[in-house]
Amino acid sequence: MPEISRFFGIVIKMFWNDHHPPHFRAFYGDEEALVDITSLSLFAGHLTPRALGLVMEWSALHQRDLLDNWRRAGEQEPLERIEPLR
């Protein structure tokens, strides 16, 4: 599970063989959420409201980087680390 970022206890991962739509997975404790990169919306799973807000803020700042990583994943290229939210 390639980790592409980590901040405030939230871990962001992207899988090479994952399904569409383009998305990433956010983990916080025992919770997991799938976030659509194109619409920046939650489409599966659950995070606490605070964690979800941080994930959405981070993804809005790095949408282009996330889409680039999704393309890399589809071509089975190494994924780039993305700067954490500070």
Per-residue model confidence (pLDDT) at position 5: 98
Per-residue model confidence (pLDDT) at position 1: 57
Coil, helix or strand at residue 30: coil
**pTM metric for this prediction:** 0.94
Per-residue model confidence (pLDDT) at position 61: 98
Taking alpha carbons only, the member of 15, 69, 63 closest to residue 80 is: 69
**CB contact set of 29 (below 8 Å; sequence gap of 6+):** 9
For 3-48, write each residue's pLDDT tens digit.
999 999 999 999 877 778 999 999 999 999 999 999 999 999 999 9
Taking alpha carbons only, the member of 70, 29, 55, 5 closest to residue 43 is: 55
Coil, helix or strand at residue 79: coil
